[in-house]
Structure 1
Amino acid sequence: MSGHNKWSTIKQKKGKNDAARAKVFTKIGRELIVAIKEGGSADPSVNSKLKDCIAKAKAANVPNDNIERIIKKASSDADATNYEAVTYEGYGPSGVAVIVEALTDNRNRTAGEVRHYFDKFGGNMGTQGCVSFMFSKKGVLVIEREDLEKDEDTVMSDALECGASDFEADDDVFTIYTETDDFGAVRDELENLGYTFVSAEIEMVPSTYTKLEDEETATKMQKMLDMFEDNDDIQNVWHNWEMD
């Protein structure tokens, strides 16, 4: 869950304890199930959404055995759970824009929980569209610089030649942006060139960022994000908080 792919949020993902990693695996597993049911196939070569989910799972270090087991289960009639995709929008402390994406089997339960999280930390849940205009949906691929045997110019050149729309270099990572329709093709071509990713998914990328000046407000924002993350129904939380 991130507002943008700055290294601070990637480090948080990489540094999760075992319990938190298990929760991440559960959430991605739910995405795989939905991708198979919506795409009508457990074959990633003909189900592009499933292929994208598998790439996301691998970037999150979900073991291949887990992925195969989930796909097999979702392909059978044994998994009868029907998940519904729901999106909520609102404001966190000091007006931070927040988009919450959920997969739920009980819309009323999830809506009540999301509203509670907003209210608890001084934010408020808004109406559909109240903050989404501040975000653009993009493919985002993050490559860790450490141990990468290619310099910045080479990575940028490879990314653009593979069809990326933008490129950013931070001290610790390279971030590659794509149009949503080009995401899978760009990812596949970069993988063929030997690149691996610490994050690979379609994200809601903010056009502007909100910086929280005081520590108390930043703490409230982080606690709100932690509560969202602890909820199994909530898949992603996108925000425009500019984290340090």
Structure 2
Amino acid sequence: MFVEWWVLWFVWILAGEVKNMAGHSKWKNIQHRKGRQDALRGKIFAKVSREITVAARNGSDPELNQRLRLAIAKARANNMPNDNIERAIKKGSGEEGGGDYETIMYEGYGPGGVAVMVEALTDNRNRTAADVRHIFSKRGGNLGEAGCVSWMFSRQGLLVIEKEQTNATDDNLLLLALEAGAEDVEVTADTFQITTAPESFEEVKETLESKGEVFTTAEVTMLPENTVELTGDLIDNMLALIDALEDNDDVQNVYANFEADDADWENY
């Protein structure tokens, strides 16, 4: 087993799968977004309920519907009552009346040329398009055509573990994630940031949870293939755009491809 461990480790090093990041973090904007969501708890319930309702159209059994399963997990992570979850499922399955929502992805650019994707669930696409366009223009960005930035993102599972919350060594956690099916692990001074294929997300998460690991982030999301570094006022302007978009009732998620030096994040 000792030899097998080092063979796996050596292969990872050669493949460049283990990355050490120092000084910069493209994940801080995810942490900022999650902090904002915590502050908007009432809106989060409404947004997640809508997500469950739309997901349930493809089947009300979470075991057979991954999108619904992930939406329910998100609801429970936000302490949504079970009654709310069940009611949202019934709306989607047709047992109770519900809004006729559709999923729309808007694409554009924020301050500093940052690529931005906005996922919305709406029952009035004209209203939502006008609102999103207004927010972009008011906050120093511009709404683009479909496909203008989506090629810069890929749908992946993301699991973040704070080093201070795990008893595992770096080597043991990396090996465990690899054996569970993770695609990549980025190691910073404070975190392990594990990415997976969407279809492998739950298996990797459950494997790590079975070993006692606790996640600060656990979601299937859109991650950027490359990033734009922001400094100073551009960070403030970009975060203002994200905050304004997330305040809109129809907007479910906002994704952006910026990063910043850790020192710049200290003000946020």
TM tier relative to shorter chain: 0.7 to 0.9
Aligned position for 2:55: 35
Q: TM-score, normalised by structure 1?
A: 0.86
* One-letter code aligned to 1:100: V
Aligned position for 1:229: 246
What SS does the corresponding residue of 1:146 show, helix, strand or coil? helix
Relative to structure 1, the CA distance from residue 10 to residue 70 in structure 2 (aligned partners, 3 Å threshold; closer, same or farther) is same
Relative to structure 1, the CA distance from residue 16 to residue 204 in structure 2 (aligned partners, 3 Å threshold; closer, same or farther) is closer
Q: How far does residue 69 in structure 1 lie from its aligned partner after superposition?
A: 4.6
Whole-angstrom distance in 2 between the partners of 1:11 and 1:97? 17
Whole-angstrom distance in 2 between the partners of 1:17 and 1:104? 22
Relative to structure 1, the CA distance from residue 226 to residue 66 in structure 2 (aligned partners, 3 Å threshold; closer, same or farther) is same
- Among 39, 44, 49, the alignment partner of 1:24 is 44
* One-letter code aligned to 2:56: I
Relative to structure 1, the CA distance from residue 223 to residue 11 in structure 2 (aligned partners, 3 Å threshold; closer, same or farther) is closer
Q: TM-score, normalised by structure 2?
A: 0.79
Whole-angstrom distance in 2 between the partners of 1:149 and 1:176? 17
CA RMSD between the two structures: 2.4
Q: How far does residue 82 in structure 1 lie from its aligned partner after superposition?
A: 1.3
Structure 1 gaps, min length 5: none
Aligned position for 1:181: 199
* One-letter code aligned to 1:108: N
1:18-167 equivalences under 5 Å are: 20-37=40-57, 39-40=58-59, 42-64=60-82, 66-72=84-90, 74-75=92-93, 77-167=95-185
Whole-angstrom distance in 2 between the partners of 1:223 and 1:145? 30
Number of aligned residue pairs: give it: 237
Percent of pairs identical after alignment?
47
Whole-angstrom distance in 2 between the partners of 1:152 and 1:70? 41
Whole-angstrom distance in 1 between the partners of 2:51 and 2:26? 20
What SS does the corresponding residue of 1:77 show, helix, strand or coil? coil
2:166–2:214 contact (8 Å) kept in structure 1: no
Aligned position for 1:242: 259
Whole-angstrom distance in 2 between the partners of 1:84 and 1:214? 37
* Highest RCO, 1 vs 2 (Cα 8 Å, sep ≥ 6): 1
1:184-199 equivalences under 5 Å are: 184-199=202-217
Once the two structures are superposed, residues 98-151 of structure 1 have per-residue CA deviations (whole angstroms, 9 ceiling, x without a partner) of 011111111011111111111112211111111111112211122233332222
2:36–2:243 contact (8 Å) kept in structure 1: no
Whole-angstrom distance in 2 between the partners of 1:154 and 1:230? 41
Aligned position for 2:236: 219
Relative to structure 1, the CA distance from residue 147 to residue 202 in structure 2 (aligned partners, 3 Å threshold; closer, same or farther) is closer
Aligned position for 2:31: 10
Once the two structures are superposed, residues 205-242 of structure 1 have per-residue CA deviations (whole angstroms, 9 ceiling, x without a partner) of 11221122332x32221111111110111111110121
Q: How far does residue 61 in structure 1 lie from its aligned partner after superposition?
A: 4.3
Structure 2 gaps, min length 5: 1-24
